Structure 1
Amino acid sequence: MGDDWKRQIDRLHEGLVRRDDPTEWVTEADAVDASYRYPHLALRGPVFGLAARNPEPGADWRLLRPAISGTPQEARDSLNSLLWFKAKDDTDDPRRRRELLDAVSVLEHDPVDELTVLGVRYRVIRGDEFARSGPSGLEPPRPTDPPPTDPSWEGRQEAPLRDLEFPLTPDRDDGFMAGAMKLALKGFTYSGPWFPADVRHDSERAVASHPDVALLPVGFGVVERNGRGWLPKGALMPTPHDARRLLFDGMTEFWPLLHKFTDRQRARYAQAAEQFKAAGQADEARVGDTLFRICRIERMVRSGPDGPEPPRPSDQDDYGPTKIHPTMDEDGTIHHGN
């Protein structure tokens, strides 16, 4: 352990002791236990989101859209829509609307990752998504993870992640074990022959250009193990219960339609779903040889002197820029079909 790393760990520990918060001590003890039971990191890969920084001195970069997109272009498209609706709904000033629409036009033609519009800096940001793993597989939720805002199992519920307005500040006090994780991740790079050379090179360069690490709010997802490893099933959720509901709805509604189950398959999945629901806070469900698990998902974003890391040259897009919304004039007139 290097002296600088040890000094930072000591500072984190001193801060935890000074606060003397019983709830925080329980959370930290939970995290320490998880570090022993799930000592390895299983990397899923890059994720992309949208951040902004207001022009006021000392303003932080903050997330405007969750860092969950699979490609940079998805995040660019979210910026396109954000600015178009600002032009439509948030101003009556033709000059301000024109500046917003000019930025939209750029995003319709060029894969740009940063724009300054009306004094606000917008940036497509890049992160990495990972889970902890151990001998029993990927880490399930911890007892101290966030409770649901709605504990029911019925109805359609929107479950937004806690990413909105989250500050991308590496020196944020996230707790002792989270601070230790950030220090450990500073030198993280993609390594191994299964990663292309340009991916490894960009990863190594990012350690120097964006040496600090910010951890995003933890999320929860459904993963499937069927003999080929763990595979993600569905979106990232803000609480374990939301992920459990996602699994229940998948087994009873979505997957039977998507995969055109037979009546026998429908019955097997429905029975397994009801058993899972009846258990209350179960983290696993099994159908035949297939195991589903509620998994704890973590994300990191690198940061440098100028803020969070943008996409890397080796990051891949499935498609390019395109026109998403109708043409709008400075006076707010929308020309449908154009």
Structure 2
Amino acid sequence: MAEQGDHGDSGDRTARQDDVPAYRTIRVTALEQPVAALADVEAWRARDTYPDIRFAGGPVFGVAREREEGGWELHPYFCGLTPQDARDSLGSHFRMLAREAERAGDGVAREAAAWAVERMDREPLDELTVRGDRYRVVRAERFIRTGPDGPEPPRPTDLDPGEVGRAREVPDPTAGFVVDPVNATGMSEGILKLELLGGLRPKDSVPPEVRADALRAAETHPGGVLLPATFMTAEYEEGRWRPESSGISTTPQDSRDGLALALRVMMPWQLGLGPEAQREYARAADRLDAERADELEVAGRRFRTVRVERLVRIGADGPEGPRPSDPDPDPPPGVHAEQLRAQGLLDDDEDEPLELDEQTQELARRFEEEALRRRKLLGEA
């Protein structure tokens, strides 16, 4: 499917479409794999049940490496809430490469990786080439579908292999995903991409610089690729659904595990609940574990696991990086450490443990109790 705006007779139009860059096209094909075909059917049905598309909070950021054969391969955990989160992840990748090179006795590779670590520790770099490999911090916008019944929950074809309490052990579906507009999609995904690429936040809902960056991105990065969905927990209150989590859970069970932990630990602590109310929240968490449900009610509160779409914009030079207006409050780790030392908040020679206030100690105790309960349940203690 070529971009909108072609004119003229069919022969001229076909010739021009052949010259259209891949990043300005949406390739649609019939899906041969049964699961992929079923997923495309479910996506089409979702258009009827959840017809509205809304932005789901701010963007997320991850790391990609350009491939010689085309496209950009994503690193695991495309879930940074700021560009610096992704830069820190890239710095960790270079540290791993340096250790591997040292074990292998490859001094040249170790030196190159150490050079990259030093730069990532000191500079807010969104792109770096190391030994011919080009890395980039990549930006994805997030969306949810919603309808009269509220936001869309997970679909039956969404991968959900993790056991209760162990969903974090499941490999990230995004790891190794190739961002390449040449790859064809099903009809439903192709239409969704076209809709999302045209999405723009209402004028009065964001600062002028945010809207200006979005309009500029539509020109510089007119194409797009959908990543595997992520999931969040939302709560229904005061007549609307509000996000209860960050929306970066890689599977539905990962999101449920996060809600169960909140019900057993965070919410009782935050609300100062008494023993009976705490038991009510714990029983609700037990039901969630047993039923793996996508919706839960407890103490008059209603929670739902919500499906989140992610779109990476594509331009002539590949996927879009961070925008100037994206919040990016944290400096690189080396710079941050120097700032803390200058403020007297970091002492490299200090051996004494950090003293926690009574309230924080209580929270730590609750987490320890929950961790022990989990280990016993899983037969690990």
- Give the TM-score category using the shorter length: 0.7 to 0.9
* Contact 1:160–1:237 (Cα < 8 Å) also in 2: no
Greater CA deviation, 185-194 or 73-82? 185-194
The residue correspondences of 1:1-338 to structure 2 (distance < 5 A) are 12=28, 15-16=29-30, 23-43=35-55, 44-54=57-67, 56=68, 58-91=69-102, 92-146=105-159, 148-150=160-162, 152-154=163-165, 157-227=168-238, 229-233=241-245, 236-257=248-269, 260-278=272-290, 280-323=291-334
Alpha carbons 2:236, 2:303 under 8 Å: kept: yes
Report the counterpart of residue 361 of structure 2 in structure 1. none
CA distance in 1, matches of 2:166, 2:158: 23
Instruction: Give the residue type in structure 1 aligned to 2:62.
Output: G
CA distance in structure 2 between the aligned counterparts of 1:237 and 1:211, rounded to whole angstroms? 28
In structure 2, the gaps of 5 or more residues are 8-13, 18-24, 338-347, 350-381
Measure the CA separation in 1 of the matches of 2:196 and 2:166.
Answer: 40
Structure number, greater radius of gyration: 2
Higher strand content, 1 or 2: 1
Residue identity opposite 1:212 in structure 2:
G
- Cα distance, 1:70 vs. partner? 0.7
| Alpha-carbon contact 1:51-1:65 (below 8 Å) kept | no
Distance 1:303 1:70 in 2: 20
Corresponding letter in the other structure for 1:256: P
Distance 1:269 1:143, change over 3 A: same
Displacement of 1:183 after TM fit?
1.9
Q: Tell me the alpha carbon deviations over residues 62-106 of structure 1, each in whole angstroms, 9 at most, x when there is no partner.
A: 111322111001111111111122112234233332222222222
CA separation of 1:313 and 1:157: change in aligned 2, threshold 3 A: closer
- Tell me which moved more, 172-181 or 186-195: 186-195
Q: Which has the higher helix share?
A: 2
Q: CA distance change for structure 1 residues 155 and 50 in 2, over 3 Å: closer, same or farther?
A: closer
SS, match of residue 217 in structure 1: strand
Q: Verify the 8 A CA contact 1:45 1:130 in the aligned structure 2.
A: no
Change (3 A) 1:179 1:230: same
The Cα of 1:118 is off from its aligned counterpart by: 0.9
1:158 to partner: Cα distance: 1.9
Identify the residue that residue 377 of structure 2 maps to in structure 1.
none
C-alpha distance in structure 1 between counterparts of 2:82 and 2:131, whole Å: 26
Alpha-carbon distance in 1 for matches of 2:75, 2:168? 21
Give 1:234 shift. 5.2
SS at match of 2:210: helix
Unmatched segments (≥5 aa) in structure 1? 327-336
**TM-score after normalising by structure 2:** 0.75
State how far apart, in whole Å, the 1-side matches of 2:83 and 2:26 are: 38
Using a 3 Å threshold, how does the CA distance of structure 1 residues 253 and 82 change in structure 2: closer, same or farther?
same
Whether contact under 8 Å (2:172, 2:250) holds in the other structure is yes
Q: Is the 8 A contact 2:27 2:184 kept in 1?
A: no
- Residues 47, 24 of structure 1: alpha-carbon distance in 2 compared, 3 angstrom cutoff: closer
Asked if structure 2 preserves the Cα contact closer than 8 Å seen for 1:48 and 1:126, the reply is yes
Of stretches 115-124 and 257-266 in structure 1, the one that deviates more from structure 2 is 257-266
Q: Distance in 2 between matches of 1:270 and 1:81?
A: 37
Instruction: Report the CA distance between 1:3 and its aligned residue.
Output: 6.7
Aligned twin of 1:329:
none
Higher deviation after alignment, 238-247 or 65-74: 238-247
Measure the CA separation in 2 of the matches of 1:135 and 1:113: 40
Cα deviation, 1:147-167, whole Å, max 9, x if unaligned, reads x324x4356752342111110
Any conservation in 2 of the 1:224–1:233 contact (CA below 8 Å)? no
1:235 offset after TM fit, Å?
Answer: 5.5
Contact conserved, 1:222 with 1:295, CA < 8 A, in 2? yes
Distance 1:83 1:239 in 2: 27
Q: Percent identity?
A: 36
1:121 shift after superposition: 0.4
1:112-168 deviations in Å (ceiling 9; x for gaps): 10000111001001111111111111101122222x324x43567523421111101
Q: 1:232 to 1:171 in 2, by over 3 A?
A: farther
Distance 1:232 1:59 in 2: 38
Structure 2: distance between partners of 1:100 and 1:276 = 45
SS at match of 2:75: strand
User: What is the deviation of 1:230?
Assistant: 1.2
